[in-house]
């Protein structure tokens, strides 16, 4: 059943591995490029089949190309995941023990937070309390910067969250290690770090999923318990009349428009 792995497949895999994470439209371009370069049958709508061929051959190696959605804008991304390494140890070859400790602590803060963000102040304060060896604030700041460059964390105005790459690669690890706190999105059923949470029943939804789900509804109600959805719906400004007018319960997210 498994289709033949061609040079185009191998080339595609290589590019994805060296990218770390690849955005969907970029993956489609690479798909086309690889097929044309190696003169292999190409159809623009067959990327998923192309990837599942690669995945069937990666299976014995406990590896897989996985697709995940960005928690910011809901766009698809691809990353090559090593299923055998279910720990943060998949980062072990690239970072020192103390850097990994900072990463684990940061991940704790992010996952245990309400909204999926940890402030740099909170992270830097943690670095002060390491058991083995203390980390200076300057040093910790530098390491955080590297985690952002390497696409394990992403940062917005001094607040850190997990990068899409990290979520795709570590979803299983996070779900099993943070069983009581990690939540899955009620809409797309994948791990939700940045999410809105229902005040009455506690389900969570990604922001892009919230946006999509409530788009068609006159009044936002929780898909599970049907209570009024009290969080601000992101990107609902198109419903309101022009600029400064805010409806009482749909606060317009002006910042997201700029
Ligand atoms: Zn979702
Ligand atoms: Zn609810």
CA 66 to ligand 1 center in whole angstroms: 16
Query: Distance between CA atoms of 5 and 52, rounded to whole angstroms?
Result: 10
Q: What is the pLDDT of residues 121-136, one digit of tens each?
A: 999 998 887 777 778 8
Residue ranges of domains in the chain: 7-61, 88-177, 185-190+197-258
Query: Distance between CA atoms of 140 and 67, rounded to whole angstroms?
Result: 31
Asked whether this chain's domains 88-177 and 185-190+197-258 adopt the same fold, the reply is: no
Torsion angle (degrees, nearest 10) of CA 77, 81, 83, 84: -160
CA 194 to ligand 2 center in whole angstroms: 17
- Is the pLDDT at 80 greater than 50? The verdict is yes
- Is the pLDDT at 143 greater than 90? The verdict is yes
- Is the pLDDT at 240 greater than 50? The verdict is no
Give me 257's structure tokens: 């428009």
Superfamily of domain 185-190+197-258: Zinc/RING finger domain, C3HC4 (zinc finger) (3.30.40.10)
CA 15 to ligand 2 center in whole angstroms: 42
Q: What is the pLDDT of residues 30-39, one digit of tens each?
A: 999 999 999 9
Residue 233, pLDDT score: 85
How large is the average pLDDT for residues 230-234? 85
Residue 217, pLDDT score: 84
Query: Distance between CA atoms of 37 and 148, rounded to whole angstroms?
Result: 33
Burial class of residue 24, CB neighbours in 10 A (0-12, 13-18, 19+): middle
Residue 253, pLDDT score: 45
- Is the pLDDT at 139 greater than 60? The verdict is yes
Multiple choice CATH, 88-177, 3.20.10.10, 2.40.10.10, 1.10.230.10, 1.10.10.10: 1.10.10.10
Residue 53, pLDDT score: 96
Asked if 79 contacts 152 with a C-beta cutoff of 8 angstroms, the reply is no
pLDDT interval class at 86 (50, 70, 90):
low
CA 232 to ligand 2 center in whole angstroms: 15
């Amino acid at each position: 059943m498994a289709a033949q792995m061609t040079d185009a497949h191998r080339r595609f895999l290589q590019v994805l591995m060296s990218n770390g994470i690849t955005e969907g439209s970029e993956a489609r371009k690479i798909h086309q490029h690889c097929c044309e370069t190696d003169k292999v049958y190409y159809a623009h709508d067959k990327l998923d089949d192309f990837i599942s061929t690669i995945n069937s051959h990666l299976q014995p190696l406990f590896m897989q190309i996985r697709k995940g959605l960005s928690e910011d804008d809901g766009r698809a991304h691809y990353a090559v995941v090593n299923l055998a390494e279910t720990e943060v140890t998949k980062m072990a070859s690239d970072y020192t023990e103390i850097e990994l400790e900072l990463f684990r602590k940061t991940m704790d803060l992010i996952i245990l937070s309400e909204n999926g963000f940890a402030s740099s102040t909170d992270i830097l304060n943690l670095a002060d309390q390491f058991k083995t060896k203390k980390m200076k604030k300057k040093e910790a700041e530098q390491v955080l910067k590297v985690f952002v460059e390497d696409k394990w964390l992403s940062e917005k105005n001094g607040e850190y969250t997990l990068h899409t790459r990290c979520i795709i690669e570590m979803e299983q690890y996070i779900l099993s290690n943070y069983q009581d706190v990690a939540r899955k999105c009620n809409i797309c059923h994948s791990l939700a770090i940045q999410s809105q949470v229902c005040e009455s029943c506690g389900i969570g939804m990604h922001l892009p999923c919230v946006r999509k789900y409530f788009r068609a509804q006159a009044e936002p109600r929780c898909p599970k318990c049907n209570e009024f959805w009290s969080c601000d719906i992101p990107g609902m400004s198109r419903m309101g009349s022009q600029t400064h007018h805010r409806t009482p319960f749909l606060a317009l997210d002006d910042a997201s428009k700029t």
